[in-house]
Amino acid sequence: MNLRSVLLFAACAALMAANLYAAEPAGTKKLSEVYFTHDISPEGLMKAYKALGRPLEGKNVAVKISTGEAGNNHYLQPSLIGPFVKSLKGDIVECNTAYAGSRMKTKDHRETIEDHGFNAIAKVVIMDEFAETELPTPKGSAHLKSDLVGAALTNYDGFVILNHFKGHQMGGFGGALKNLSIGCASSRGKSRIHTANRTDDLDKMWSKIGETPQKDFIESMAEAAGAVVNFMGDKAVYISVMNNISIDCDCNGHPAKPEMADVGILASLDPVALDKACVDLVYASDPQKSASLRARMEKQLGPHILDHAEALGYGTRSYKLISLDNNEPPSTKRMELGEEMKKTYDPAELPENWSPIPVGEPNDAYAEYFIGKSYLYPLTTEQVPSFGVTFEPSCRNNWHIHHAKTGGGQILIVTAGEGYYQEWGKPARKLAKGDTVNIPANTKHWHGAAPDSWFQHIALEVPGEGNSNEWLEPVDDSTYLKATTENEEKEVKNGIAVVYYSWSPDGNTRFAAETIAKKVGADIFEIKAEKPYSSDFRTCCDEAQPECRGKKQRAILPIEGLKFENYSLVFIGSPNWWGTLAPPVRTFAEKNLEELKGKKVCLFQTHGGGGMQNLGRDFAEIFGDKATVLTPKAFTGSSVRQSVEELEKFAAERAEN
């Protein structure tokens, strides 16, 4: 650490000791102000900034944004932020990434910045281009003692943390706190955060990430963000734009298409309150359209960053949302699927030939065991009692058990509409007309309608000894939402799967796989090495060369959701490494020979100029006569993104075989 860094570190530590962000006295609750406008425009952005009452004009201002990975177009566009940045006469600031892509090396990053149009609106400074410096993390930090940031951050005395709020593959969501932590960290600093202080070494980062609990990573982001917040003090403002809200970050070169509607622009002097308001607005939005983002945030423990940041004392989750549009601010009340579906349904509106079984009368006797309205039509109470049960959209019964000493259970025969059946601890199964469900005795389960469809089934009680029903807890909205949006027993698209391995998050093989899957409507699955290769290209080559030349395997992680029985054709994608298959691809093929027996398999590969070489031969040798091996095809990596038409033609032709 040089003298400048030591002095800076000491100064920041002194500020923290002075408790600039002291908690409110006992018995009081500080509400941070968060301003909101629906107007996503240069004028709306300026309005949000001015509402904060902290003018930065006249200062040496840094505007921290994400410049976006090549291939991504969801980042904050220069046309939106340009007038605001120019009004401040500020510099746009960024840092290089820690993963292989268009922004890992300064030269490539500058080309991406130029391509994305940022040079036209301001000077762009890559803060860690020449050096990095350490900032102390807040008192009480559990993982990081200090944060490594781009050294140029310390050249400024005014800061705009300008965020594009969206999902994130690793953090759950990306907003102000991610922009402050990962965004301001040098490449080595990113490694430190991602591994919760296990390593600063980029070559070791990916293997150490595998050893790092997700909770530790999320908390490390909060701690790193606190280091930057405390350094900036009262010289910073925080603004988030909620548009193009994909589940993927701007660091993804091929992000998922946004499903949520645009929301607006939010601004605050408190980054924690700002992120909390954005998260709340996601949960207050249409639960069907926000389901994927909600699921990603929850799976990655994203909201936990808010808890840890508040505990560190540099912000609060308690806020007041103030509208700048001369009307009431939007509701931040969490909207669950059940709430959205709370409207009046009339079975008389069903088509006359909807089902051969009448809807029947309201099932009032069992209403307490249902969310939503159901109807009952007795078919027979003799021999094998059976009933027609009709559910309005989103209606479902509670978890329940059909007890029996011997025999017993229940059989469902679907007669109309769409619905779901789920046993405790298992994925939900989607149901449609003609489906049958055999429910074993003594099995905890529920069943009900899809969110947008009436549903009807016949329920047959299986004779047994000691039959009785036990009604349990309701199927809460989060369980129902997951069952109806992440149903693992989902309909198979054309019986085609695309399975691929890609070295980098923005790799050529990934792009080819996604293009093929989209063209033929296939399910797509990624092969991941149990121990990832180095993110440094030369080191990766050194690691892979002996494996490739020895045709050795590299252990891979289980592929979640891949059920071979659902597919008759499997495309398998690999980069060309040393003239043969990447070892993780070889592992996948050799390990799953029996599962792929009798199916059609087709190799596609990307290369740096070597063409097919031995990949097609080696691929065919693995499968022998166990599978039908279709003619493979090689795509030049440097031009694969300009070869969409060729990729689509290849996919369509092989799918027709």
Higher pLDDT pick, 489 / 291: 291
What is the end-to-end Cα distance of the chain in Å, rounded? 63
Q: What is the pLDDT of residue 486?
A: 59
Q: What is the pLDDT of residue 539?
A: 85
Going through 327-394 in order, the beta strands assigned E by DSSP cover 361-362, 370-371, 374-380, 386-391
**Range with the poorest average pLDDT among 131-145, 432-446, 555-569:** 555-569
- 323 — pLDDT class (breaks 50, 70, 90): very high
CB-based burial, 573-582: b 16+ in 10 Å, e otherwise = bbbbbbebbb
Token readout for 15 is 């500020």
d(C-alpha 218, C-alpha 82), whole Å: 32
Q: pLDDT tens digits, residue range 610-628?
A: 788 889 999 999 999 899 9
**Among residues of the chain, what percentage have pLDDT more than 90?**
64
pTM given for the model: 0.57
User: How high is the mean pLDDT of the chain?
Assistant: 88
Helix/strand/coil for 441 = coil
Token readout for 406 is 């011997």
Torsion-angle region of 350 (φ positive above 0: left; ψ -120 to 50: alpha; else: beta): beta
Token readout for 50 is 């001015």
Q: Which residue from 137, 166, 327, 321 is spatially nearest to 241, judged by alpha carbons?
A: 166
Going through 205-250 in order, the beta strands assigned E by DSSP cover 236-242
Q: pLDDT tens digits, residue range 344-402?
A: 678 888 888 899 999 999 999 999 999 889 999 998 878 888 899 999 988 999 999 99
**Residue 588 backbone dihedrals phi, psi, to 5 degrees:** -60, -50
Query: Would you list the DSSP string of 549-614?
Result: HTT----B---TT--GGG-SEEEEEEEEETTEE-HHHHHHHHHTTTTTTTSEEEEEEEESS--STT
Q: What is the pLDDT of residue 489?
A: 39
Task: Note whether 605 and 634 are within 8 A (CB).
Answer: yes
**Domains of the chain by start residue, with CATH:** 3-328 (no CATH), 347-485 (2.60.120.10), 496-656 (3.40.50.360)
Residue pointed to by tokens 């979640």: 560
Q: Would the CA dihedral through 149, 151, 157, 160 be positive or negative?
A: negative
Q: What is the pLDDT of residue 540?
A: 83
Q: pLDDT tens digits, residue range 494-545?
A: 489 999 999 887 789 999 999 999 888 888 999 999 999 988 777 887 888 8
3-state SS of 121-141?
A: CCCEEECCCCCEEEEECCCCC
Q: pLDDT tens digits, residue range 231-269?
A: 999 999 999 999 999 998 998 877 888 989 999 999 999
Residue 15 reports pLDDT greater than 60? no
Q: pLDDT tens digits, residue range 335-353?
A: 655 454 455 678 888 888 8
Residue 476 reports pLDDT greater than 90? no
Q: What is the pLDDT of residue 176?
A: 98
Work out the average pLDDT over 421-450. Answer: 91
Helix/strand/coil for 274 = helix
Q: pLDDT tens digits, residue range 39-71?
A: 999 999 999 999 999 999 999 999 999 999 988
Q: pLDDT tens digits, residue range 160-203?
A: 999 999 999 889 999 999 999 999 999 999 999 999 999 999 88
Token readout for 177 is 């706190």
Q: What is the pLDDT of residue 336?
A: 58
Q: What is the pLDDT of residue 591?
A: 93
